[in-house]
Amino acid sequence: MSRIIVVGAGINGVTAAIELKKRGHNVVLVDPGPLPHPFAASTDISKAVRAAYGADEDYTDLATRSIELWRKWNQEFGTQFYHEVGVMFVRRRELKPGDFEHESFKTLKRRGHKVERMNSARLWKRFPAWNPELYRDGVLELEAGYAESGRVVATLIERAKSLDIELREGVRFSQLHEEDYGVSEIALDGGKRIAGDFVVMAVGAWTPYLLPFTKKFFRASGQPVFHLKPRQPELFAPTEISGARCYSRRRKEFARVSIIHVPGAVQCADCLLARLHVLRYARWAFLDRARSGAPRINNCCGRLWAWV
């Protein structure tokens, strides 16, 4: 039986810790907290889940398995984390071979997924908030949807505690302690150390900063996200649109639309500077993409978030 240290308690870290514990290992889960950490990529109201990944068969396989596991989690935890509301991708012109949407439709159709081709007439009939004069063609993946990611992580943290995983919340990783034979322990801010047989680093965008030797391979990137509260939320059926990727969340306690500018994600060597660049870049993304694509967003209340 090995003692394994998992650094980072986001979705990857906590699920790794739970799986390792189920396989009979002693697990220590380390995170500065609070949990779910407000800066973790997995801490959000929702994350889109879909199997459409163009012609990428491997990623489509992974996503298809993921959707099945999300359904099982809904049953296992007795609550709906995954909402199978569909995901849509549209373009301003007719789809052509090589387009992400065209290849996604072909791949999903061949694999037996429930998928529909969209056009201006269907878009106007089913999703009246979006501009049918602008968007001409697209794909609707019916078995896709979104997961309540922050709530999932919070639930999994409690599951980890119930499995007697040793949770070290409120401590910060400083560096790996390496011997000739490999890593033997981790050092924390303040000088304390935690010994282990193996170390799993699940720190997301912080990887090149906590492990400087990885800066050659990893860079943090960011995209601007607008969260808007429409005055007529009933018009916004759940969708996700590539190019100006959008999807709505339809629960009793909230109704909002997110607008994510996809092309040209901001990259920066410093996390804080990256967030500032993202905020500056977001203004153009909203004005250029959202108002033309979804005119009914105009005159609604909104706030801006940026994630890295």
265 and 308 within one domain: yes
The CATH number linked to 190 is 3.50.50.60
pLDDT at 217: 87
Nearest to 296 by CA among 231, 245, 246, 237: 231
225 with 289, same domain: the answer is: yes
Do 158 and 275 lie in one domain? The reply is: no
d(CA 63, CA 66): 5
Last residue within a domain, chosen from 171, 190, 216: 216
pLDDT at 180: 81
Domain boundary at 163, 187, 216, which?
216
Which stretches of the chain are assigned E, i.e. beta strand?
3-7, 26-31, 47-49, 82-83, 87-91, 115-119, 137-141, 145-147, 166-169, 173-179, 182-188, 193-195, 198-201, 221-229, 244-251, 254-261, 266-267, 301-307
- The answer to whether residue 184 sits within a structural domain is yes
The pLDDT of residue 246 is 46
Among candidate residues 196, 216, 236, the one where a domain is terminated: 216
179 and 255 assigned to the same domain: no
**pTM score above 0.85:** no
How many domains does one find in the chain? 2
Do 26 and 165 lie in one domain? The reply is yes
Rounded to the nearest 10 degrees, the angle between the axes of helix 149-162 and helix 11-22 is 30
Give the residue numbers spanning the domain of 272.
221-308
Residues forming beta bridges with residue 122, ordered by sequence position = none
Residue 287 has what pLDDT? Answer: 52
Which segments of the chain have a pLDDT < 50? 239-256, 259-278, 299-308
The pLDDT value given to residue 192: 94
Q: Could you tell me if residue 253 is inside a domain? A: yes
Listed in sequence order, the residues at least 6 apart from 289 whose beta carbon sits closer than 8 Å to its beta carbon are 243, 244, 259, 261
pLDDT of residue 178: 87
| Residue 134: predicted pLDDT | 87
Backbone dihedral region of 307: left (phi > 0), alpha (psi from -120 to 50 degrees) or beta? beta
What pLDDT score was predicted for residue 140? 94
Q: How far apart are CA 30 and CA 18, in angstroms?
A: 13
